[in-house]
Amino acid sequence: MWLTKALCLTLLAGAGLAAPSTKGIYDLLQRRMPLHASSFELSLVDSIGNASAGYDQYVVSSTSKGKILVEGTTLSALSSGLRRYLTDVAHVDIYWYIGSRLNVAPFYLPALKAPIEGASVVPWRYHFNTVTFSYTGAFWSFEDWELQLDWMALHGINLPLAWVGAEKFIVEIFQEIGLTDVEISTFLSGPSFQGWNRFGNIQGSWNGELPLSWVDSQFAMNQQIVARMVELGMTPVLPSFTGFVPSAISRVLPNANVVIGSQWEGFPAEYTNDSFLEPTDPNFTMLQKSFVAKQQAAYGNVSHIYTLDQFNENNPSSSDPDYLRNVSYSNWQSLKAADPDAIWMMQGWLFFSNSAFWTDSLIEAWFDGVDVDSDMIVLDLFSESQPQWQRTNSYYGKPWIWCQLHDYGGNMGLYGQIYNVTINPIEALANSSSLVGFGLTMEGQEQENQIMYDLLLDQAWSPTPIDTELYFENWVTTRYSGSITVPKGLYSAWEVMRTTVYNNANLASSAVTKSIFGLEPSKSGLTNRTGHHPTTINYDTNVLVQAWNSFYGAAAQNAFLWGNPVYHYDLVDITRQVIANEFITLYVDLVDIYTSQTSSASALASAGRNLLALLDALDLVLSTNENFQLTSWIDRAVAWAEGNATNAAFYEYNARNQITLWGPTGQISDYASKDWSGLVSTYYKPRWQIFINYLQATPAASYNATALHAELLEFELKWQNEGTYMKLKRGATADLKTVLVQTQQEWPSMFST
């Protein structure tokens, strides 16, 4: 454990970092539970009990004056101890989308009969994938970030990625070397695609240019974000210069060593094949020093950890071990030249996604380039399904973080691997001396599956694998209680889902499922997909219907649930999944009828009507909650235009394109599909109508997938710019209770086991 202890001391006691203050956590209490804020005392202490028992440590107790005293060795320990009291004793918590429920804590907070103690088993709890900032947070306001940061603090996260607004420094260092605004703006990608521009996968935008006003406004917001992270006891992981540059770099630095990167995902050359300034070139270090200096001037001396990823789904220009060793060494040295205390963080995703290139010997050569192990941290990005730490001998001694990826593109299926995220990280901790943290690296931060993320973060405070049965029971108590007694039906529903929906052990399908109605219609290839965008359902769908009936029936046991926003949200989400599963059955029936030599036109027409009617039912259910509405996503995008019509059109296109075609002509179409009201009615249903019309007009023997795709693409391209979302209503457009009664009457078999 010497390496992790040394790393902790190096980072937490970093030169010049400001002394911590409890004010940030007091402010959090004032924001989220103002009536209770004065009931807490927070105290930073040097140690609690046995100092070797863990890393961050806390103890929560009641004082003689009736207050709740939280003592902790760090700010993150304080906020973690605070949440432990709130969830386990007051039975309230804070959530994504739904928001904070801390304010419904009992007016008189329960006193503790005995102190509650806790200690983290790892020094770091990490959060964010680079692309989360695009799939989920592309258009967040600071209000959205404020909720996110409070959630992160209370869940013990102390090492978050801070990518927002980095284009400010990119623009300025490019201007310094003489690139024009046009050369720079045509290199930068739109808000929904910045994650992949930062990775060097894509360049530019395929429908306009990124306004420089966006760059300035995002930077201003990130100043608030970074300041808040620090106030809440987090060490931000800051961006750095990665080497991806506009092609015009050769005009201003004609002797620079620039290579052309590889094509990504079939994009046209003008939008990929990014120019890459080799890290061995002296200009790389020059730009790195300028980038880091500007960042330090903007945010202060708040962190020495920098993210730097160069070969994410792009192969290096050479497979020579010496070349790779020199690139890695030059990256490290450029950061050290910019900040002598710098620590380089990188994702380990490339070793899995590009495993054909990254042989064991090349991986070892790469890590050999960094002589000081503690100067690097590696994110084992997909540890729950495709861990790379064993293959790489714990990244050849470099500190690394066990991460749960879980979700690709913000997909919304109910899914989890409860044992992989409890047993596996603890086993890794026992078998790897360089493991320094647990983390969340989901591509999209979505929906009901939040329990899987809570589970891993809480595992960071337990030396043994968490008992998931007890954990789920306690989580349900906290999630729905507030001012009511939780009905037994909710416990029953979640216990059923715990052992089925959230208990996938089939690693062929190792991520959140996609709903097939969100895929471009086709006669084949939609069902039983595996990989990291699966459509295979790994549980008996009747079991989910059983859970739904228990969940829905709970409101009959306690009618107050209908007024509980958490229950409302979850009921919509579980209903959404029940309908998505039923859609698979109706789709298979439709295709079987079409391909059957004995089928009739009337049978095909009837099957088609059923399919479309089910989408209508789904859209209506989703419309009852604004978190499941297309308008919520696009309104956030358009708001950033502040009345500028040109910018509004650009942002709206970005928002529409990412969740549908994802590229100028559908290069990775439907990758980020969403089960949203408005999207179902204006995009998915029309596509399925086109498909059904095609089947009715075309004999099975004459089916032409290419011709069908061309017809669908014509509609899809038109949808990107048509602005129909303005015609859709905002907010809850129907009463969920009424809608579910109607849906049950129309689809009785769907809800029977």
Nearest to 314 by CA among 239, 390, 389, 263: 263
pLDDT number for residue 726: 57
Asked whether the beta carbons of 338 and 265 are under 8 A apart, the reply is: no
pLDDT number for residue 733: 76
Q: Which two tokens stand for residue 163?
A: 């990518």
Q: What single-letter amino acid sits at 585?
A: T
Those residues with Cβ within 8 angstroms of residue 77's Cβ, 6 or more apart along the chain or in another chain: 56, 57, 58, 118, 120
Asked whether the beta carbons of 461 and 419 are under 8 A apart, the reply is: no
Residue with tokens 């095609």: 694
Asked whether the beta carbons of 245 and 324 are under 8 A apart, the reply is: no
How many Cα atoms are found within 13 Å in the side-chain-facing hemisphere of 472? 21
pLDDT number for residue 508: 81
Nearest to 445 by CA among 674, 718, 263: 674
2-119 architecture in CATH? 2-Layer Sandwich (3.30)
pLDDT number for residue 15: 39
Using DSSP, state whether 71 is helix, strand or coil: strand
Q: Which two tokens stand for residue 710?
A: 């061309």
pLDDT number for residue 727: 63
Domain boundaries, the chain: 2-119, 126-242+280-465, 516-528+564-751
pLDDT number for residue 722: 80
Dihedral (Cα; 246, 247, 252, 256), 10-degree rounding: 100
For the chain, residues with pLDDT lower than 50 are 1-6, 9-16, 51
* CATH top-level class of 126-242+280-465: alpha beta
Q: How far apart are the first and last CA of the chain?
A: 52
DSSP category for residue 263? P
Q: Which residues of 422-457 are buried (b: 16+ CB within 10 A; e: fewer)?
A: bebbbebbeebebbbbbbbbbbbbbbbbbbbbbbbb
SS3 content of the chain, % helix, strand, coil (to 5): 50, 10, 40
Query: Measured between alpha carbons, how far is 446 from 136 in angstroms, rounded to an integer?
Result: 8
- Superfamily the domain 516-528+564-751 falls into: N-acetyl-b-d-glucoasminidase (1.20.120.670)
Query: Measured between alpha carbons, how far is 66 from 172 in angstroms, rounded to an integer?
Result: 54
Q: What single-letter amino acid sits at 526?
A: L
Classify residue 604 by burial, with Cβ atoms within 10 Å: 0-12, 13-18, 19+: middle
Helix 488-499 and helix 541-557: axis angle, to 10°?
170
Query: Measured between alpha carbons, how far is 672 from 657 in angstroms, rounded to an integer?
Result: 10
